[in-house]
Amino acid sequence: MTRRVLACLTTILLLGMCPGCSREPEVAGPQYGSSPVSSDVPCYHFAVHPLHNPAKLTQSYHPLIDYLNKRMTGARFELEASRDYANFEEKYNARQPGFLLPNPWQTLQAIEKGYQVIAMAGEPQDFKGIFVVRKDSGLEAPVDLKGKVVSYPSPTALAACIMPQYFLHVHGINVMSDIDNRYVGSQESSIMNAYMGLTAAGATWPPPWRAFQKDHPKEAAELKLIWETESLVNNSVMVRDDVPAVVREQVFSLLTGLQETEEGRTILAGMETARFIPASDQNYDVVRAYVLRFEQEVRPVEEK
């Protein structure tokens, strides 16, 4: 059972390759388009950080790309998934995608590479870390994790790793010595590690947990949410600084107006996102302060 599930997860992460747009450099990772792109119309990659494995992310976000393509003038989009956090981060560090949907920590990094925030994806209060455990785990307090294994998607996942590790730190756990931290590549993998008993707890955040409960009700019924962190700010939508203003303004208008139509609300529900909110780089200053405190008290976010 365990080997079969892990094999399936690995296979899903590697599926979904298709040709990219001709107007931007070839990049590693799955890219998805719904129709042939005219050579007269610029095509921009819309890269979403690994909220899910590539197959699940495509299912959730491709309706948004179709919605944009039906309404945009003078530009088209292809959805780009990434096999893991590191692969996604390589892309914006190389300034490859025209548009990004990164987590708040990645937002700070992308600002340094010339990307600008135009919106926030979801309500700020929904951006928090959570721990899921088996109902038969016997865990009651965070200190019960001492000597045990905890899974996370990535060391740079803000809601699903940095915030949970800070939570454990505040509750008396030395994250670097009291527990065994396992970085397993995706939100689903973190949850599944807890379900299969490979880790005592799996760290994630609300949208993937809600999606897991819908997609895998039998497995989810054997798990429970045991602790959650404070909230911060949600993921951003960013545009590269050389994308024409007319394109970014159309995207901004379409995203922030999604909740006003039935079709848009259906798309938002599929992404587990309440709405897109107007935002700017300055909204993420609070993240800079949070990460600085985390690095001073817990560990570096990235290896130097």
pLDDT (tens digit per residue) in 45-76: 999 998 888 888 999 999 999 999 999 999 99
- My answer on whether 98 and 133 are in the same domain is no
Per the structure, how many domains does the chain have? 2
Instruction: Answer yes or no: do 217 and 77 share one domain.
Output: no
- Residue 113 forms part of a structural domain: yes
- For residues 191 and 59, state if they share a domain: no
Task: Among 231, 250, 278, identify where a domain stops.
Answer: 231
- The whole-number pLDDT of residue 56 equals 86
| Position 18 pLDDT exceeds 60 | no
Domain boundary among 205, 231, 257: 231
In the chain, % of residues over pLDDT 70: 87
Cα separations in angstroms, 33 against 60, 62, 99: 14, 8, 15
Which CATH number is 268's domain given? 3.40.190.10
Q: Is residue 2 part of a domain?
A: no
212 and 250 share one domain: no
238 shares a domain with 227: no
Q: What is the DSSP letter of 60?
A: H
* Domain boundaries, position 52: 13-124+234-292
Whether residues 107 and 35 share a domain: the answer is yes
Q: Is 93 helix (H, G, I), strand (E, B) or coil?
A: helix
Reading the block at residue 266, the tokens are: 């259906």
Instruction: Report d(CA 226, CA 216) in Å as an integer.
Output: 19
Does residue 209 form part of some domain? yes
Q: Do the domain assignments include residue 7?
A: no
Q: Name the pTM for this structure.
A: 0.79
Does residue 59 form part of some domain?
yes
